[in-house]
Amino acid sequence: MTEKKTNLKVFISVDMEGITDVIHFDETSEKNPDYPYFRKLMTGEANAAIEGALAAGATEVVVRDAHGLARNLIPDELHEEAKLIREWAGSPLGMMEGIDKGFDAAVCIGYHAKASTPNATLKHTMIGLVLDVRVNDVSLPELGWNALIAGHYNVPVVFVSGDKAICEQANGIFDTIDTLAVKEGIGKACLNLHPNKSKQLIKTGVQNALQNLNKFKPLKYKPPFRIELYFKDEIKTYNASWYPGAKRISDLGVMYETNDFFEVMRFFKICV
Ligand SMILES: [Zn+2]
């Protein structure tokens, strides 16, 4: 059964590596001549999500530019009913900056799989130096980490679009989430939908998810929380091991335990 909720407030986090046809890091960097084209595609998928949210009855939509310098979405090409958060605040909220308990749902667009995933386009976790992030023994892609941040504020992530690999990882982490694969990695190559098809499917997918909000739950683990960070660079691990209460657990791993999830977020912010 679908419902049209009134006064729906929706948060949309938009990354770039999982946007249709983005298949190389050069295409995601403002230093590259191809970048203006791909930021336009990113803005198009953000708009599709906004349109889906509005069609489901959203009266407030906040978009978080969550890639690179966080200055990718083209402001005057973004749907005028949305507000846009640009740049990094420097807070533990990171890719979810701006979320709070007032939102009914969060949507993640342009997301990608975690580091070391086979057949995943532009896979990585946060920054290139991170091998893995584990919370309460679950290895998390950025989507999972960001969903725990949303969950801390009791907001469910209801929809994700990106490559097929992140959709598979999403289904392993969430009890219920709607996923849309706009592309599929073939080693380093990638099979893509047409960008217009992706936009149509994102719009209807976001609308559908928001019209069935009751089936989604905020992602939350039970305390005590145990976060493990693994870095490719031992020096990063050494530095993180000096965080108050942190423990070195292996050559490349450091862990921290607490009953307060915000303290997990703070540890991550300071150490990554
Ligand atoms: Zn990114």
With cut-offs at 50, 70 and 90, classify the pLDDT of residue 269.
very high
Instruction: Locate 163 and state its tokens.
Output: 């490559």
What integer pLDDT is reported at residue 3 of this predicted model? 55
With cut-offs at 50, 70 and 90, classify the pLDDT of residue 178.
very high
Interval between CA 144 and ligand 1 midpoint (Å): 14
- Please indicate whether residue 24 is annotated as part of the active site: no
4 pLDDT more than 90: no
In the 3-class helix/strand/coil scheme, how is 132-199 assigned residue by residue? EEEECCEECCHHHHHHHHHHHCCCCEEEEEEEHHHHHHHHHHCCCCEEEEEEEEECCEEEECCHHHHH
Interval between CA 129 and ligand 1 midpoint (Å): 14
Which sequence spans correspond to the domains of the chain? Answer: 8-129+140-215, 225-271
Find out whether 145 and 134 touch, Cβ atoms under 8 Å: no
Q: CA 61, 62, 68, 69 torsion: positive or negative?
A: positive
What integer pLDDT is reported at residue 134 of this predicted model? 97
Side by side, the strands of the sheet bearing 130-135 are: 138-139, 130-135, 225-231, 253-258, 247-248
Considering the chain, what is the average pLDDT of its residues?
Answer: 96
Find out whether 260 and 82 touch, Cβ atoms under 8 Å: no
1 pLDDT more than 70: no
2 pLDDT more than 70: no
C-alpha distances (whole Å) from 140 to each of 55, 229, 250, 264 are: 31, 11, 19, 14
Interval between CA 74 and ligand 1 midpoint (Å): 16
Interval between CA 142 and ligand 1 midpoint (Å): 9
In tens, the pLDDT along 183-232 reads: 999 999 999 999 999 999 999 999 999 999 999 999 999 999 999 999 99
Q: Region 50-54: what's the mean pLDDT?
A: 98
Instruction: Locate 245 and state its tokens.
Output: 């209460």
Interval between CA 17 and ligand 1 midpoint (Å): 5
* CATH code of the domain made up of 8-129+140-215: 3.40.50.10780
5 pLDDT more than 70: no
What integer pLDDT is reported at residue 147 of this predicted model? 98
Interval between CA 15 and ligand 1 midpoint (Å): 5
What integer pLDDT is reported at residue 169 of this predicted model? 97
Interval between CA 125 and ligand 1 midpoint (Å): 9
In tens, the pLDDT along 103-151 reads: 999 999 999 999 999 999 999 998 878 999 999 999 999 999 999 999 9
Quickly tell me which residue has 């993640």 as its tokens: 108
Report the predicted TM-score, pTM, of the whole model to 2 decimal places.
0.96
In tens, the pLDDT along 67-87 reads: 999 999 999 999 999 999 999
The catalytic residue among 24, 124, 152, 194 is 124
